[in-house]
Amino acid sequence: MNLNKQILAIIILLLAAMPHALGHVTGGKLQNFQYNADHAQVAPIVDGYLDDPAWERVTPGKLEQNLITGERWNPSPDFTGSFAATWRNGFLYVAIKFVDDQLETRQAKLLRGDHLILYVDPHHSGRKEDLYRFEIRIGKEMETLKYPLTRIAWGNDGQTCELSFRLDNLARKGNSIGFFITYSDVDSGNLQNKITWAPEGYTEESEYLPDLVFTAKIEPTRQQKLIQWGRIKSLY
Ligand SMILES: [Ca+2]
Ligand SMILES: [Ca+2]
Ligand SMILES: [Ca+2]
């Protein structure tokens, strides 16, 4: 009897702890996890090469979460990757840069080759809706693009990429959208890892999308004007 009671108590304790543990991974950490996409003074040219002035000032988001194991991914020759995002005139621009020791781009089937999985949810549902899922083969230009993706271009032998998404008035200061990016690393014909931009503990079962927030700093020209105005006033 005593042993049974102990087992029962343990089961009750485990059940009580479970919702908390799940909430911790899927909800709690995502609340403080977001990418701030800063407004660009000049839109980048979507040609696959990241030499545009718009990419000089951005803060990269690192792909350093292993989606399969839920553990952190340490940058290595196997895979190292990051992305950045900026916006202007109703468009969101995303730049991706990565190193993969074995680029598999010749396979006919998506899952047999290296590919990116993105979610861009303009309506900010917070969840991974198939409607806003994009599967993109490394190094491939795509013939038909679905909303809101408007353009994709590769550079540096498929190791850099630029994408544009048309969001119209949803790309405005202070607004948030759902955003997710994963690199599916296929080496030697087999899927090895899925490395993503997400907080620690995030796995394939996590259904929530992180936020991308449109931000805008005061542009230098305006700041300079304010300084000049201050000087003019001090003359009198
Ligand atoms: Ca470019
Ligand atoms: Ca690899
Ligand atoms: Ca690979």
Which ligand has the minimum distance to the alpha carbon of residue 99?
2
In angstroms, what CA-CA distances link 46 with 94, 99, 152, 164?
Answer: 9, 20, 7, 7
Whether the model clears a pTM of 0.85, i.e. scores above it, the answer is no
Distance 39 CA to ligand 2 centre (A): 33
Tell me, in angstroms, the distance from the centre of ligand 1 to residue 15's CA.
Answer: 52
Looking at residue 40, its pLDDT comes to 96
What is the per-residue pLDDT for 12?
61
Facing residues of 151 across strands?
A: 164
Q: What pLDDT is stored for residue 223 in this prediction?
A: 67
The residue ranges of every structural domain in the chain are 1-32, 35-224
Q: How far is the CA of 186 from the centre of ligand 2 (A)?
A: 6
Contact 118, 96 (CB under 8 A): no
Alpha carbon of 229 to ligand 1 centroid (Å): 36
Q: Which ligand is nearest to the CA of 184?
A: 3
> Three-state SS for 200?
coil
Ligand 3 centroid – CA 10 distance (Å): 44
CA distances from 131 to 59, 122, 127, 144, 148 (A): 28, 11, 11, 15, 10
Q: Give residue 97 CA to ligand 3 midpoint distance, Å.
A: 14
In this prediction, residue 231 carries a pLDDT of: 63
Looking at residue 57, its pLDDT comes to: 87
What is the whole-number distance in angstroms between the Cα of residue 173 and the centre of ligand 1? 23
- Centre of ligand 2 to C-alpha 38, Å, is 31
Q: How far is the CA of 187 from the centre of ligand 2 (A)?
A: 5
SS (H, E, C) 110-172: HHHCCEEEEEEECCCCCECCHHHEEEEECCCCCCCCCCCEEEEEEEHHHCEEEEEEECHHHCC
- Ligand nearest to the CA of residue 104, numbered in listed order: 3
Instruction: Give 6's contacts (C-beta < 8 A, 6+ positions apart).
Output: none
Q: How remote is the CA of residue 137 from the centroid of ligand 2, in Å? A: 15
pLDDT recorded at residue 3:
66
Task: Give 10-residue mean pLDDT values along the chain (236 residues).
Answer: 69 53 47 92 97 95 97 97 98 98 89 95 93 94 90 94 98 97 96 96 94 87 66 60
Please count the residues of the chain: 236
- Topology given in CATH for the domain delimited by 35-224: Immunoglobulin-like (2.60.40)
Ligand 3 (ion): residues with CB under 5 Å are 100, 102, 114, 185, 187
Ligand 1 mean position to 197 CA, how many Å?
Answer: 22
pLDDT at 41: 94
CA–CA distance, 118 with 116 (Å, rounded to integer):
6
* Ligand located closest to 116 CA: 3
- Of 189, 191, 158, 181, the closest CA to residue 64 belongs to 181
